[in-house]
């Protein structure tokens, strides 16, 4: 197992198939910047500066068109 801590990774954390929710975990030094490219808090601003361990309602959007793709929840850890 590698001790690399400088990489940012993403992984699907829920099983494949139909379900009530899907969880995508993004970890690493660029996680907020990457997530911030496709997510905004329902209040209209980004994830930056948000407190950790709080649940936020978010909008997932296409960065090229700003079209809303889905709504969800985000937690910053």
37 is written with which tokens? 């490219």
- Does residue 28 register a pLDDT over 90? yes
Query: At 39, phi and psi to the nearest 5?
Result: -130, 140
Residue 3, domain member (yes or no): no
Residue 58, domain member (yes or no): yes
51 contact partners, CB below 8 Å, separation of at least 6: 76
Residue 49, domain member (yes or no): yes
CB 51 within 8 A of CB 40: no
Residue 4, domain member (yes or no): no
- Does residue 1 register a pLDDT over 60? no
> In terms of residue numbers, what domain contains 36?
9-75
Residue 2, domain member (yes or no): no
Residue 1, domain member (yes or no): no
CB 65 within 8 A of CB 42: no
Tell me if residue 31 falls in helix, strand or coil: helix
How much is the pTM?
A: 0.73
Residue 41, domain member (yes or no): yes
Percent above pLDDT 70 for the chain: 91
Provide the domain count of the chain: 1
């Amino acid at each position: 197992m590698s001790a690399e801590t400088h990489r940012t990774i993403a992984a699907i954390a829920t099983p494949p198939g139909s379900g009530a929710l899907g969880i995508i975990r993004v970890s690493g030094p660029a996680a907020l910047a990457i997530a911030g490219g496709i997510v905004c808090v329902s209040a209209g601003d980004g994830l930056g500066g948000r407190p950790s361990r709080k649940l936020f309602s978010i909008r997932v959007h296409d960065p090229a068109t700003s079209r809303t793709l889905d709504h969800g929840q985000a937690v910053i850890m």
